[in-house]
Structure 1
Amino acid sequence: MDTQFPQIISVDDHTVEPPNVWQDRLPKKYADTGPRIVRAPLKEMSFLGGRFKPVMGRPGDDGPIGDWWIYEDLHRPLTRLDTAVGYSRDEIKLEVITYEQMRQGSYDVPARLADMDVNHVQSALCFPTFPRFCGQTFTEAKDHELGLLCIRAYNDWMVEEWCGPDARGRLIPLIIIPLWDAELAAAEVRRNAARGVRAVAFSEIPPHLGLPSVHTDDWDPFLAACDETGTVVAMHIGSSSRMPSTSADAPPAVGSTITFANCCFSMVDWLMSGKFERFPNLKVMYAEGQIGWIPYILERADVVWEENRGWGGVAEKVHRPPSELFAEHVYGCFFDDAFGLRNLDSIGVGNVLYETDYPHSDSTWPKSREVGEAQMGHLDADTVERIVRRNAIELLGLTDDGLWAP
């Protein structure tokens, strides 16, 4: 491999929304009901069986103080897991924090760019925090009229401020949609595609959110909009509000080991749905799902399609081997997967993207370059270039220099 490691385009980083995102953008009548930050103590918090359960105390109660998002009945604290970079592994615990206790690059554009420079990162696509990974916070809300305004406000902030002039094209916009209405979702995709956005967050397993599966026709207006505009459907682990686990009392380490599982199930859904043949320009990507599991799943899917499609319910809608559909439509994203890179030929060089997961606890910051060099040392320079930046440039419609240009 060439000793000059390419500048990274990370397809999975995260933004922690500043306190004013919705307060500045919603109509004034929603000042007391839209998302807002309050400072309050923590009463108790657990994360077992893939479920996160914080309980906010009242002013004056004992307990660690943190900043909490308040929205309808939701009380959601900022936690150390939201922004863990800069802390040693042993210091990263499930605890509430304030904005002052997090790394400034989590929510501030100039500070983020500086942290990207430290990490050899040129450009980054960022998933939400308070809205959750596909905006399901607003889908679960009671007032969908306000929820739609919140989604539009977030997308305006994402495009105009987070990815605005101060970002100098180095931050790549990712929008959210009203998941409860595919027509409204399609309209939001088109509204943002008109200003250069080429990525939309979606749930890897919508039925976990009480929504239709991709095997139905319910999502077709949304998928048609993505197909027509070249908007990539980006699915992050946990975007179904359920992390994989094995039991209600399984410690977080169990779920953390098998985080790829929902991506695996989701990819089989898409490959067997017929959607890639109905929408030939549709592209999907799996953020933080890693890639080492992909070869066997493609092998098994092809066997099932070849031998069992007659009774398997896919003969009329899936007319090509799933592995062929994968090659044309699906992208796996990884930040630390030496096994997957050793089996790259079975995945496809053109179907792999690199990420740094800043500022989460799994992040390779500030050593994403060193991790990449160690794991890609057996690959030729052209292959490394494609994985680290060129595939992302082509998928997300960036400039040849790797920047977002509205």
Structure 2
Amino acid sequence: MEIPKLIDVDAHVVEPPTLWSSRLPERLRESGPRIVYAPKGDVQLVDGKYVERPGTEGPDVAWWAYEDTWTQIKRYVAAAGVPADEVTNEGVTYEDMRPGCWIPSERIADMEVNGVEAQMCFPNYPRFCGQIFLWGKDRELALHSVQAYNDWMVEEWCGSSGGRLIPLCLIPLWDVDLAVAELRRNAARGVRAVAFSELPAYLGLPSLHSRYWDPFFAACEETGTVLSMHIGSGTRTPQTSADAPGAVGATIIFGNSVASMTDFLFSGVLHRFPRLKLLYAEAQIGWVPYLLERVDDVWETHRGWAKGQDQCPEPPSTYYYRQITSCFFKDHVGVELLDRVGLDNATFETDYPHQDGTWPRSREAAAEQFGHLDEEAVRKIARGNAIRLLGLDLPV
């Protein structure tokens, strides 16, 4: 059947240059996130973090400067409409990218071209769960920066879209009480999704097993806020060796989502908060059936020593089917295993404007992968499951 208009649960926004400089208190603007034009520089991976500095010659590109950190806006995060051979990790300017990357009205125009009715966008510069502010030295500045991003997200990015852009907010990751307060502040104005790290321990934060995050999870459950975790939001990505090409890490990065889901299933979080909903973004779905088979087998077979049943009194797959949704955009294998992934547990995405994205042919990509399914299945994956998960006022 023809693919209906999509509800896209994972796209990205390139933050506009004045987002923070127009919203932070004046005394904080000189050290808060701001755009500086300077020559391209080198990027190095140091202790799991990318460290960048501007160069000394060549054409200027757009840099985000925040305290003593520098980050180029790179071509591959603003790659919509750019031929694959021309997509690199070098810096660009705002003039080099499609206006839909950062201007709301232009984004909606690009959504129209792509057959997307509504779209939820993860951040780019602050990283996928706002961890750049976790690394900030000035906690007052970091908190104001998180709040400024959320105000911009609700009021400017989504505010004039007529519900077509779905707000996704950040939390101050360094303090669970502040996180709860910010979650509630945004939920009170209609926000129903919050970005979180798939592996908080990778960020040096308390693990899911510590129960430190329980007040935050309780607030998510109470407000109906979906805990949204983008692949790579643990920052540290799987690597096989220092000399392996980037293609290796890009292939196996879904391993982080495997680890995260296993952590959630055995931690007892989903047992203690049975109405808490999780969304895994850009992780694809083909790996899910084997993980569910394995966690259930470990839960049963190794019950004498592995402590899998201590916080997880039911087979782990029970919690998955009840509370977890994943999204995909390139996964024929996952569609073939859809009966085990769960028809109600799968949603679609476009990843606009990243290089991996399918714009402007996302509905064609959807048709190629699941257009052969029956009408109910197509509608659930393309839009129905996302509408239900996020409580959207849209027809299924």
What range describes the TM-score normalised by the shorter chain of this pair? over 0.9
Q: Is the 8 A contact 2:54 2:70 kept in 1?
A: yes
TM-score (normalizing by structure 1): 0.95
| 1:265-289 CA distance string (max 9 Å, x none) | 1000000000111111101111000
- 1:53: how far off? 3.9
After TM superposition, the structure 1 stretch with the greater mean CA deviation from structure 2, 114-123 or 303-312, is 303-312
Q: 2:20 aligns with which of 22, 26, 33?
A: 22
Size of the aligned set, in residue pairs, is 396
The equivalences for 1:123-202 within 5 A come to: 123-165=118-160, 167-202=161-196
Aligned to 2:216: 222
- Would the alpha carbon gap of residues 51 and 209 (structure 1) be closer, same or farther in structure 2, given more than 3 Å must change? closer
The corresponding residue for 1:78 is 73
Compute the displacement of 1:315 (Å). 2.2
1:12 corresponding residue in structure 2: 10
Secondary structure of residue in 2 paired with 1:388: helix
Deviation digits for residues 244-283 of structure 1, max 9, x if unmatched? Answer: 2212222111111112110011000000000111111101
Q: Does the 8 Å contact 1:48/1:249 carry over to 2?
A: no
> 356, 368, 386: which one pairs with 1:392?
386
Asked whether the 8 Å contact 1:49–1:245 carries over to 2, the reply is no
Structure 2 counterpart SS, 1:333: strand
8 Å Cα contact 1:49-1:250 kept in structure 2: no
Matched residue of 1:87: which SS?
A: coil
Give 1:46 shift: 5.0
Match of 1:296 in 2: 290
| TM-score (normalised: structure 2) | 0.97
Instruction: Mark the runs of 5 or more structure 1 residues left unpaired by the alignment.
Output: none
Distance 2:321 2:41 in 1: 49
2: distance between equivalents of 1:378 and 1:172? 29
Matched residue of 1:398: which SS? coil
Task: Verify the 8 A CA contact 1:47 1:252 in the aligned structure 2.
Answer: no
Q: Distance in 1 between matches of 2:167 and 2:158?
A: 6
* Contact 1:237–1:243, Cα closer than 8 Å, also in 2: no
1:395 positional shift: 0.4
Q: Percent identity between the aligned chains?
A: 54
Deviations for 1:130-178, whole angstroms, at most 9, x for unmatched residues?
111000010110111110111011000000110012x121000000001
Q: Distance in 1 between matches of 2:51 and 2:84?
A: 22
2:281–2:326 Cα contact (<8 Å) kept: yes
Instruction: Give, in whole Å, the separation in 1 of the partners of 2:357 and 2:44.
Output: 22
With over 3 angstroms needed to count, the CA separation of the structure-2 counterparts of 1:47 and 1:253, relative to structure 1, is farther
Counterpart residue type for residue 5 of structure 1: I
The SS at the match of 2:53 is: strand
Distance 2:48 2:69 in 1: 18
Q: What root-mean-square deviation, in Å, do the aligned CA atoms of Structure 1 and Structure 2 show?
A: 1.4
Instruction: Write out per-residue CA displacement over residues 56-109 of structure 1, whole angstroms, 9 at most, x where no aligned residue.
Output: 12xxx2234210000011100100011001011111111110111011100001
Residue 362 of structure 1 corresponds to 356
CA deviation after TM superposition for structure 1 residue 319, in Å:
0.8
CA–CA separation in structure 1 for the residues paired with 2:118 and 2:249? 29
Q: What is the CA–CA distance in structure 2 between the aligned matches of 1:102 and 1:247, rounded to whole Å?
A: 33
Secondary structure in structure 2 of the residue aligned to 1:257: helix
CA distance in 1, matches of 2:12, 2:105: 15
- In structure 2, C-alpha distance between the alignment counterparts of 1:88 and 1:292, rounded to whole Å: 28
* Residue 90 (structure 2) aligns with: 95
Whole-angstrom distance in 2 between the partners of 1:276 and 1:133: 23
**How many Å separate the matches in 2 of 1:309 and 1:156?**
47
Task: Rate the CA distance shift 1:211–1:51 in 2: closer, same or farther, 3 A.
Answer: closer
Quote the offset at 1:348 in angstroms: 0.3
From 238, 258, 262, the equivalent of 1:244 is: 238
Runs (5+) with no aligned partner, structure 2: none
Structure 2 residue identity aligned to 1:14:
H
Task: Give the match for residue 333 of structure 1.
Answer: 327
Residue 47 of structure 1: how far off its partner (Å): 6.5
